[in-house]
Structure 1
Amino acid sequence: MRGTHHILIRRILTAFVALLALQAGSLVAPAYACGCGAMIPDGTQRIGVDREESAVRWDGRTETIVMRFSVHGDAERAAWIMPVPGRADVSLGDPELFDEIDRLTAPERRDRFHFWPREDDWPFDTDHGDGAGAPPGAGTGVGVVGRERLGPFDVARLTATDPDALGDWLRTNGFDLPDRLTGALGPYVEQKWEYVAVRLAPEEKGSVLRGELTPLRIAFASSEPVYPMRLSRLARTPQTLGLSVLADHRMEPRSPIGGDRPEVTFAGRIERPEGAVAALAGDRPVHLTVLEQEFPHPERIDDDH
């Protein structure tokens, strides 16, 4: 009996240690969704995206996406592509933006010295938005709009009428992207979207891409808010999307587009935007919605948010 008891204890401890190791591994190397589908390094070099943070501002006419990557690996260069529905203006973003959003969405302690909720307390408060939220639930064929160097980014803005021609242009011009990307670009070509192709390279020669990269700000005309996600179906590991949306009211995705149901982790009105948030959203009151979503099977992604 004593020997059996020791064996049982050892098995329990072994299982417990294995579970801890599994959880630690998931914390050390999380996979985050990339609107570009993947960060592609040169040749045999390796690069991993520890986190992609995105903030979206939509005012009913214009959309601005600010993206910041935290990466690791030994790659000196990497490339990615962002489809956009209209002509894009590309510039460097403010690194303080994401820190300010973190502060705005941090838990807030409130002391209530009464038993029954009053008129402005949940569930009797009425600040749930205005009801406008979504319901539940140059080769041939390629035009170069512009090309510029922005900090660590070599940015090309492109149009295309043929996904094969677009893939060929990218590879010919130093954007070493996989062949399987060509097929994934097909729906965007059919919709006559344009593209922001980006090569990332450290400004200091011989350095590797590591840590938090300078944010990139992409603005374009759009009659509805959109966050490109189709190319993320090329990812080979489960993905997690974190997205902050600044608009005139609370925003939610129209559908899960092949992932788990999106979770709203924060929704509130910012009465007096300041600093980098004001630079993105203006100094008038704005509603901030923060979304988190899991994609256990990226290959099932079938649309854009």
Structure 2
Amino acid sequence: MTRTRARALLTALLLMGIQATWIAIPAYACGCGAMIPRTGHQLTVSEETSAVTWNGRTEQIVMRLSLSGDSRDAAWVMPVPNRATAELADPALFTALAKETEPTHRTRHYFWPRDGDWPLGDDADTDGAAALPGAGAPSGVNVVGREHLGPFDVARLTATDPEALANWLKDNGFKLPGRLEQALRPYVDQSWEYVAIRLSPADRDKPLAGQLDPLHLTFASDRFVYPMRLSQLARNAQHLNLYVLADHRMESRSPIGGSEPKVTFAGKLDSPPPGPLAELAGDTRYLTALSQDFWQPQGISGDHVLRRAAHDTPYRRVVYTDELLTVGPGIPVWLVTVLGVLVAGTGGALLRARVRKGRPIIPPPPVTVPPPIG
């Protein structure tokens, strides 16, 4: 087994071990809100992508979650600053965003052969450069709205007491982690409301899995905020992909306990074609894509508050593909160079030998013996 294949096998085994660990852990939180599976079941949020925009008065958040696990249904709770409306979103929005922010691909050439190039072998490495039931509400909780949206049963709640909210959700079939009450306290103190959603697949005999239909939430807000505090309940690392539509390049005021948010794209939109992206963007013409990791979610200290960056410098990722420098029909330039040097060296040696052979042989001067002294 070559070293390359051994590394690939070791990497695959490591990834299988990490995946098994994640699946065995209940997903009590995702990047935006709290996800609660049925007692005794597991649920993992394998990917979360959100698009947000704010016009100074009203904020919109479109979220898409991908799930895996063995739970046939789950509850998801998201805090919002004010009364929210919920509707299904068009999945084509994220296709359009991915196209707008796709990296530029360029080729870099190298001269000398590397592992996988002839004559060093052909084992090239392949490293990648990518419905809550309507039970009666206890004191402290009011159901202010309810609608069925595709596979979702959406209840919009207000709560003046986090314990009352937790009990209401529990009475509707879900056991929440004990830390949720404490995590909800800051939102209750600020008189925030909640969107509570029961997730259930069309086929009740199959567990929740795959990509869910995206949800579009709209609410009034006096600041551009992306709720993240409940993610401190997560037991596994969290990853956030956030598309921010605004008039200028945007940034977060603070990492809120995660890695420094990384800009993966920043630039003006070139009048997107009619569709979900154009509808969400409205008059805004600047898109900032942010990526962030929370390796220790318990350290999350608050919500993302977004603000204008100091400059509108555009940025687009560049993905390089390394290729061996060749000439003609795939002939390596290094081979042509080496052969050329060898031919030149051999030719020079033969020429020097021929020149030496063609010269007349000049005898050495005679040795003069001095006469004897006497």
TM-score by length of 1: 0.81
Structure 1 equivalent of residue 62 of structure 2: 66
- Once the two structures are TM-superposed, the CA of residue 241 in structure 1 deviates from its matched residue by 0.9
Alignment CA distance shift 1:13-1:66 (3 Å):
closer
Please say which of residues 45-54 and 92-101 is displaced more in the overlay.
Answer: 45-54
2-side partners of 1:45 and 1:156: how far apart? 23
Higher relative contact order (CA 8 A, sep 6+): 1
Structure 2 equivalent of residue 302 of structure 1: 301
Alignment CA distance shift 1:281-1:175 (3 Å):
farther
1:47-58 to 2 correspondence within 5 Å? 47-58=43-54
Task: Give yes or no for the alignment of 1:179 onto 2:178.
Answer: yes
Structure 1 equivalent of residue 191 of structure 2: 192
Structure 2 equivalent of residue 84 of structure 1: 80
Alignment CA distance shift 1:95-1:13 (3 Å):
closer
1-side partners of 2:142 and 2:151: how far apart? 24
Alignment CA distance shift 1:11-1:189 (3 Å):
same
Letter matched to residue 278 of structure 2: A
Letter matched to residue 292 of structure 1: S
1:149-298 to 2 correspondence within 5 Å? 149-274=148-273, 275-282=275-282, 284-298=283-297
Alignment CA distance shift 1:271-1:160 (3 Å):
same
2-side partners of 1:259 and 1:190: how far apart? 24
Letter matched to residue 159 of structure 1: T
Of 36, 39, 42, which aligns to 1:43? Answer: 39
Question: For the aligned residues, what is the CA RMSD?
Answer: 2.7
Alignment CA distance shift 1:280-1:17 (3 Å):
same
Structure 2 equivalent of residue 96 of structure 1: 92
Alignment CA distance shift 1:271-1:158 (3 Å):
same
- Once the two structures are TM-superposed, the CA of residue 36 in structure 1 deviates from its matched residue by 1.0
Unaligned runs of 5+ in 2: 107-136, 305-374
Alignment CA distance shift 1:209-1:12 (3 Å):
closer
Confirm or deny: 8 A CA contact 2:30 2:48 kept in the other structure: yes
What's the secondary structure of 1:43's corresponding residue?
A: coil
- Once the two structures are TM-superposed, the CA of residue 200 in structure 1 deviates from its matched residue by 0.2
TM-score by length of 2: 0.66
Of 2, 15, 21, which aligns to 2:13? Answer: 21
Confirm or deny: 8 A CA contact 2:232 2:297 kept in the other structure: yes
What's the secondary structure of 1:232's corresponding residue?
A: helix
Alignment CA distance shift 1:183-1:96 (3 Å):
same
- Which 4+ runs in 1 deviate beyond 4 A? 9-17, 23-33
Identity fraction in percent: 54
- Once the two structures are TM-superposed, the CA of residue 20 in structure 1 deviates from its matched residue by 5.2
Alignment CA distance shift 1:142-1:16 (3 Å):
same
> Over residues 94-120 of structure 1, what are the superposed CA-to-partner deviations in whole Å (9 max), with x where a residue is unaligned?
11111110000012469xxxxxxxxxx
1-side partners of 2:18 and 2:97: how far apart? 25
2-side partners of 1:253 and 1:276: how far apart? 25
Q: How many residues align?
A: 269
> Over residues 216-265 of structure 1, what are the superposed CA-to-partner deviations in whole Å (9 max), with x where a residue is unaligned?
11110112111100000001111111111111111100000001111111
- Once the two structures are TM-superposed, the CA of residue 189 in structure 1 deviates from its matched residue by 0.2
Alignment CA distance shift 1:199-1:108 (3 Å):
same
Confirm or deny: 8 A CA contact 2:39 2:174 kept in the other structure: no
Bigger CA radius of gyration: 2
Unaligned runs of 5+ in 1: 1-8, 111-137
What's the secondary structure of 1:252's corresponding residue?
A: strand
1-side partners of 2:2 and 2:65: how far apart? 43
2-side partners of 1:103 and 1:10: how far apart? 38
